[in-house]
Amino acid sequence: MHVGLVMECDYRPGRTEEEAFEEAFSIAEMADELGLDGVWLAERHFAAPRRPGDPMGAGIPSVVSVPLVMASAIAGRTKRIRIATGVSVLPLCHPVRLAEEAATVDQVSRGRLDFGVGRSGFPRSYEGYGIPYSESRERFQESLDVILKAWTQERFSHQGKFFSFNDLCVVPKPFQKPHPPIRVAATTMDTFPVVGKMGFPVVTGLRGFDVPQVARHLALYREAREEAGLERKGEVFLRIPIYVAETDELGQNEPKDSTFTSYRRLAETFARTASAAGTTASEERIERAERLREVTYEELLEDRLAYGSPDTVVSKLKHLTEEFQLDGIIMEPNVGGGVPADRMLNSIRLYAEEVAPRLR
């Protein structure tokens, strides 16, 4: 069982970008020292502080726009922890450059890279890069094909819809052979069977989905694997908001305001992007927005969060592990970005010292 945490590298009101980087590096070093298995670096673009009048969905400020650069820096500051992208948004990058950068991180870290990939569920980043969100699915697949060729073939050629190359030799090749583990994020219903058919491990989460939805989607993933002639189970990692404190009361009350605000923002984001070019009915954005607008904190605790004392969190995560047949848990340590730094670090420490050993 992989037990890790995601790093969105947000920076708090009144603090600087420089302080946000230092906090991120401190968390990675702490995770390494405490024995967690991995840190997962999000990729967030144009995540600037909100201005007066900005919509709720503008989100939390973040400095992690180039996760592979962060990964390289973390590799130099840590000894054993795996460093993952969670995720690299393939359609926004040139695949050859991304293959070079990821292979470099794998070499620098001596084989500690997990390459998490996805296409992002929201169009905002695509607008900033001038790339139509309607092309995201095709660009994702072609980019992944190019990266795999670059890593596994001494020289390769490629003729596709978006990219064409002739007799390229990408250097360096990854440290891990044939390449780093590739894990594909699934944030929409129709992605699960696609990932299953491709045969890749899947990463999903309990932000846009609740527990019953994840169960249904993983069934689709496993059915697709079986139909493709693969072992049915597949490898599944779950990203979930986790907050651990000394008691259930503290564990559920301390992050309440930050968490509840975050889910309200998510509802507004789903609603605002429901009609964006390239979105599909299968993404269920309107339905997801409506559910989150009406959800109570008690319902979030039941179906989307693991908050409380170490015993309560362990019980919840063990139940999810059995229900979903999980191979990994990825902690979201500060949903909404509003938990004070000292309490967030205390939660990570309790997660590493008192929760993780009982999950493995």
Are the C-beta atoms of residues 7 and 64 closer than 8 Å to each other?
Answer: yes
Exposure pattern of 216-240 as b/e (b: 16+ CB <10 Å)? ebbebbbebbeeeeeeeebbbbbbb
Q: Of 185, 179, 163, 162, nearest to 89 (Cα)?
A: 185
Q: What is the pLDDT of residues 112-147, one digit of tens each?
A: 999 999 998 678 889 999 999 999 999 999 999 999
Token pair belonging to 318: 């063990």
Residue 58 has pLDDT above 80, yes or no: no
What is the residue-averaged pLDDT of the chain?
Answer: 92
pLDDT of residue 165: 95
User: What is the CATH architecture assignment of 2-359?
Assistant: Alpha-Beta Barrel (3.20)
Model confidence band, residue 56 (pLDDT cutoffs 50, 70, 90):
very low
Most confident of the ranges 12-16, 36-40, 335-339: 36-40
Residue ranges per structural domain of the chain: 2-359
Q: Of 279, 11, 12, nearest to 124 (Cα)?
A: 279
Q: What is the pLDDT of residues 202-219, one digit of tens each?
A: 999 998 889 999 999 999
Segments of 124-254 assigned E as strands? 156-159, 164-168, 182-185, 202-205, 236-244
Provide the whole-model pTM.
Answer: 0.92
Distance CA 140, CA 39 (A): 23
Residue 94 has pLDDT above 90, yes or no: yes
Model confidence band, residue 283 (pLDDT cutoffs 50, 70, 90):
low
Model confidence band, residue 274 (pLDDT cutoffs 50, 70, 90):
low
Residue 57 has pLDDT above 50, yes or no: no
Are the C-beta atoms of residues 113 and 71 closer than 8 Å to each other?
Answer: yes
> Residue 5 carries which side chain, given as an amino acid letter?
L
**Bigger pLDDT: 324 vs 62:** 324
pLDDT of residue 277: 56
pLDDT of residue 60: 75
